[in-house]
Structure 1
């Protein structure tokens, strides 16, 4: 598999669901769960899907399905696919599980009455290459009919004898196999027919004759313009079968103008609930596939499907919710889409220089750690670090996890004064994260236009806030010298300015309003810094005497109480004793009593 691609060329993978599942059913040995339920097709399909994600590394992905309803081809020719046997019961019962798998991976599915999956794949592929110049499409299927779509930026991945043995077909590979261009596959079928779909073709014209005619003349239409050049028998067969040839070409041609619209943002390869995917695999007893589940953050993203008049009507009948969706969410989504399409300009030269500087600091930091310890170790190995800290240096074990003694950031911060090597390790981790997560990763996300086109989601966070991913542009560090340097990589064209705007303490303003606390309200009404006010009340000092450290405590307590943080968590965050943190919280509630009343009321209502 593993086709080569430019680092910044984005890739859309379109899966012909029915064709791949059917191929998987016949190519995968019988496999049943302990309950006796046949799942071999689901296993083969899922294995191929995971391989596509692993090796093709798509930026976008979608799956298309046939529906049971007749298509426009059945309307034109009643015999279309009439010779096919009914779907085996063993296969039909597996469709529901495939949809479970796709739902777990947040992969959008498309289907449309009157059209086959081929038509939807063809339409989406055509829209993709017309819409995006720096985008290539790879179609994953088990049906060679779809190779007619191959062109410069559309390729087809086909299993050969087994699902694990696949071939990627571009224009050259197709021509080498068939001797004519991909677009002429429909002309070939118009003459030779297709027994699997019961497309008649021209009676008496076989595959060899059809190939020779298409190689020589190029298309059915051109063949008929040169009938006088053909042997008498072939001429007669073609004359008598002209109507059948024309109909057969229409039946074989994939409709690339189906009434669906490609939304690339909805097809982004999103993060998903890894636990949900694992549970589906456990239910299907696909234990060998569990280690292949990509590791992502636990973010739940919506699925995409074509809206029908009925679905629009249903959402419109949802009362206040429907109105909110129409008036707010849909408008916001259109803005977010424009934001993603516009992207943000990145200074790659600056990132390269910054990366060089940071890697120099990282190397210096590593040597300082090794000198301090007297030997080297893999600093990215929690096991090795745990052995050094707790067995060699005999530092106290703060926390244990399922995998052993914890060396996470919280643990190291608690141990920061226990040994001089701990601050160095914390600094190493900060530098390593900056390099791996941002300095090295961001250039890979830059498209051919020099911009990063992140995805912005309305429903990407449990709090209701807008989230960003692929990459996440909302977690670019801002604190410290290194964070500020990293942000300099985001630039604007000459003559433009980059404007940063933010609400001033929006959460605390809302809290002051809904809790109706006079102290908080007065701070905002008088234009006084609310964190300084909190610090002055907690430490019982005049506003003008509040120190920078005290303001930091006031700010931390403001948000800690707002989001229900207890004394234990606050003590860790502020690096103070539990009783000190508890005293801060009690004093805060004493100074802002309405806040405590409101929080208790909300808890009672819940």
Structure 2
């Protein structure tokens, strides 16, 4: 049987060879698993009834249908009356515990919702679900279908082979919902092929089902016998040859062996009913909307939402049909009059998609090769600006000005790139340059009115006078950001790329960049006819994505969040264009110091080890640490060796040798990542331009790359030395405005905890206040050590810190850490209740929300895997806090941008790092004082919370001077 990759979404056509796929679900296996996954914290409805099994069953079913897209689906149910096995052997399964009453109550609910869905459920009195599965699987296989049984039951492994495979809950990879089991894996795990599983179980018995087997014969012995003789029958034909005590046991229990085989052997002759047919199992007939409605009646909005998605996908035929090759109608436009006429048509439509093509991904040095646009799905136009027959750039830009000034909705994918490229290539919008100091105002529909620009000429590229003037862009809708707002937790590689979204949402397969641009070449080398098809297709796909995503934003209530993101976009473009001045000489000096320090640490490491080795090699380092020095590792890698990653070594940091290794690694990273790399990134004005990413995190926080300025160490002296190289330009100063403990402030607001809110409202040191309450001493008697412990947990609580981590971080015993946590939650009971409610809500709805309504899906909150579920719980606790902090910072940036636009102070925002905003300001007393007052006011009043937002503002020449 051809193996499938079920690590993520499989191909739309699971049957690659043309055969249809049938999925058979072992219903009770899934029901029991989901019930016991929540046994400690059951999910309940408004009436207080346990609905854990219903929740887990239908979440899993919906995701299975969505991800694997089978052609047919059937659910197998157990008999309502005793089976033939119970008649043969009354003690069959007698060891099993009685089914809990609150689980029994959920069986009819599950069947009721399945009936609304229209999914076929097969039950046959006198037979177990396993026998139903075996019968259906054999008949389907005989008809040529590819069959997958969804079950973790070992008895069903007998079925594997030919056209039949098993999908079991993730075992080898516990992050997977289902993992495929084929014949090779069965033999690897059991030592025999699938068809011999029955013989193995006949000998070993099965304590779970109370199958007797042969006393004294374990798994290894059973495998040995079946490998040697081939079957139970053949074994007993030669049982007289087996010597010793084991031979006596085998011969004494012959009757039990054959009886056990009758019990464990699957039946393939179960009557399925006169109305059974494979045609009736088609998923095309399922009523997802009806299932969603029923699920809401049972207080299960998350599962209902999943079935709503399936319903929308079915209606649009975008989620359930195979990818199809795009066949759009695309044309080249070389005449300016024709272009002007087409733009008039586009303006009349009210919505037009736009995309640039460049010879580089560096926005400030890239040349525009051409641009494309589309205002009707399935069609598009390409305007070449380079090469033979190209339109003059000035003529094209004159026409483009008409479009960008029209007020039509302009749809782009990764709009910031296109806006910066246009600006760097001199497109400013003509008459609108006079309004270049106007800033964007986001409309209620979440679209962006963009008139952003950079006032000074410190950055590279741009108009002839050295200024970067951003073009007026009417109402901009960025499909990349829209997709991220809707589903910020997508983890697939390039998950927000145009190609990925077009395939996922539109089921359209377009031309890949690598298909038309050879390695070492650029888009400028592509023949114009090929370039036209590629570029116009991008605009066409972008327009089609808009038609889907705009509606989804409104349906999800996320238009306001999207509006904020679109309003932030031109601010980020301005920050990127401005850049920040870098003192390369200071970094050069630090480079020499670090190199000398690394040489000395390397010498000390080699002396301690007794020989030289590659410190950067995990394998060689592992040999030194765990074999030669005899240290005890804590974590193993997949290959079986002990891990030498930072977290693993931190657990051994008390060892001086390990401490030197960590010191060496830290300094090496600083040297290569920042000290040596940053000077290579400056422009002719010694300014460095990072790229701010809106879609880089699931919480809403901004991230940056090329270079990443978010990860420069804050507290260590080494990090400060690097930050000191970021300086104000001549005649300027830097102003740092940093929110004080913003995440704790957000936690106080969201939880309403009396003690935490009191500390912030009274303006006392919140860490000292916590220490005072926990240790029972007056706040004036709190020691530095007490405050450090309180601070560690004040922040750690938001990341789900437990006793083990607290003990490690504070260097105390586990029991002491556990008592500290109990004392903490005794004092901050409101925090405990808030975190518990947040987790419950995430389990019920499947997502968390911030103060602005930003959502984050918590996909694994119901996982049966403890490790995965605990990680999801930590994520659920932290996301509303970190996401709300991001909301506040972004709102402050918008308010400051508006205020500086209306009342210029000689300052501009140039950096945002975590909760800190960095401005470059004219070095005169009035500019500085006006900017400080304005920034403090807007940041402290960005949101009205139940506790005050406080901001620390500092002025200096170097970033490293602050804090």
How would you bin the TM-score normalised by the shorter chain?
A: 0.5 to 0.7
Q: 1:500 aligns with which of 736, 743, 751?
A: 736
- Any idea what SS the aligned residue of 2:666 has? helix
1:561 and 1:585 in contact (8 A); partners too: no
Please give the alpha-carbon distance, in whole angstroms, between the structure 1 residues aligned to 2:784 and 2:616. Answer: 35
1:408 and 2:645 are equivalent in the alignment: yes
Cα deviation code 1:327-380 (max 9, x no counterpart)? x22211111111111111111111111111111111111111111222111110
Q: 1:374 aligns with which of 610, 619, 631?
A: 610
2:578 and 2:689 in contact (8 A); partners too: yes
Q: How much has 1:591 moved relative to structure 2?
A: 1.4
Higher relative contact order (CA 8 A, sep 6+): 1
Q: How much has 1:441 moved relative to structure 2?
A: 1.7
Q: How much has 1:66 moved relative to structure 2?
A: 8.5
**Equivalent residue, structure 2, for 1:321:** 558
Q: Is the deviation greater in 572-581 or in 316-325?
A: 316-325
**Equivalent residue, structure 1, for 2:328:** 67
Q: How much has 1:307 moved relative to structure 2?
A: 5.8
Q: 1:330 aligns with which of 552, 556, 566?
A: 566
Cα deviation code 1:135-154 (max 9, x no counterpart)? 45789xxxxxx9x965xxxx
Q: How much has 1:316 moved relative to structure 2?
A: 8.7
- Any idea what SS the aligned residue of 1:405 has? coil
1:128 and 1:137 in contact (8 A); partners too: no
Please give the alpha-carbon distance, in whole angstroms, between the structure 2 residues aligned to 1:137 and 1:373. Answer: 56
1:589 and 2:850 are equivalent in the alignment: no
Cα deviation code 1:262-304 (max 9, x no counterpart)? 977437999x9886479x9xxx9xxxx9xxxxxxxxxxxxx99
**Equivalent residue, structure 2, for 1:457:** 693
Q: 1:266 aligns with which of 407, 417, 424?
A: 417
1:265 and 1:455 in contact (8 A); partners too: no
**Equivalent residue, structure 1, for 2:755:** 519
Q: 2:585 aligns with which of 344, 349, 368?
A: 349
Please give the alpha-carbon distance, in whole angstroms, between the structure 1 residues aligned to 2:554 and 2:699. Answer: 26
2:692 and 2:702 in contact (8 A); partners too: yes
Cα deviation code 1:141-170 (max 9, x no counterpart)? xxxxx9x965xxxxxxxxxxxxxxxxxxxx
Structure with greater helix share of residues: 1
Q: 1:396 aligns with which of 629, 632, 636?
A: 632
- Any idea what SS the aligned residue of 2:771 has? helix
Q: How much has 1:535 moved relative to structure 2?
A: 1.9
1:432-447 alignment, distance < 5 Å? 432-447=668-683
1:554 and 2:790 are equivalent in the alignment: yes
Q: How much has 1:479 moved relative to structure 2?
A: 1.2
2:359 and 2:369 in contact (8 A); partners too: no
1:233-312 alignment, distance < 5 Å? 265-266=416-417, 276=493
Shift in alpha-carbon separation, 1:538–1:526, aligned structure 2, 3 A: same
Please give the alpha-carbon distance, in whole angstroms, between the structure 2 residues aligned to 1:417 and 1:312. Answer: 53
Please give the alpha-carbon distance, in whole angstroms, between the structure 2 residues aligned to 1:375 and 1:126. Answer: 50
Q: How much has 1:548 moved relative to structure 2?
A: 2.2
**Equivalent residue, structure 2, for 1:194:** none
**Equivalent residue, structure 2, for 1:422:** 658
Q: How much has 1:127 moved relative to structure 2?
A: 12
Please give the alpha-carbon distance, in whole angstroms, between the structure 2 residues aligned to 1:601 and 1:534. Answer: 22
Please give the alpha-carbon distance, in whole angstroms, between the structure 1 residues aligned to 2:698 and 2:561. Answer: 18
Cα deviation code 1:510-536 (max 9, x no counterpart)? 222222211111111211111111122
- Residue ranges of structure 2 left out of the alignment (5+ in a row): 1-13, 19-325, 339-345, 348-353, 371-381, 405-409, 422-479, 481-488, 501-508, 515-537, 843-963
1:315 and 1:322 in contact (8 A); partners too: no
Please give the alpha-carbon distance, in whole angstroms, between the structure 2 residues aligned to 1:480 and 1:506. Answer: 21
Please say which structure displays the higher CA radius of gyration. Answer: 2
**Equivalent residue, structure 2, for 1:574:** 810
1:557 and 1:584 in contact (8 A); partners too: no
- Residue ranges of structure 1 left out of the alignment (5+ in a row): 1-32, 38-64, 78-111, 114-119, 140-145, 151-181, 187-248, 290-302
Which TM-score applies when normalising by structure 2?
0.35
Please give the alpha-carbon distance, in whole angstroms, between the structure 2 residues aligned to 1:128 and 1:416. Answer: 42
Q: How much has 1:384 moved relative to structure 2?
A: 0.4
- Any idea what SS the aligned residue of 1:498 has? strand
Structure with greater strand share of residues: 2
Please give the alpha-carbon distance, in whole angstroms, between the structure 1 residues aligned to 2:759 and 2:559. Answer: 38
2:586 and 2:725 in contact (8 A); partners too: yes
2:581 and 2:726 in contact (8 A); partners too: yes
Q: How much has 1:390 moved relative to structure 2?
A: 0.6
Shift in alpha-carbon separation, 1:493–1:597, aligned structure 2, 3 A: same
Please give the alpha-carbon distance, in whole angstroms, between the structure 2 residues aligned to 1:416 and 1:319. Answer: 48
Q: Is the deviation greater in 387-396 or in 546-555?
A: 546-555
Which TM-score applies when normalising by structure 1?
0.54
Please give the alpha-carbon distance, in whole angstroms, between the structure 1 residues aligned to 2:361 and 2:714. Answer: 36
Q: How much has 1:314 moved relative to structure 2?
A: 4.8
Q: How much has 1:542 moved relative to structure 2?
A: 2.4
2:359 and 2:366 in contact (8 A); partners too: no
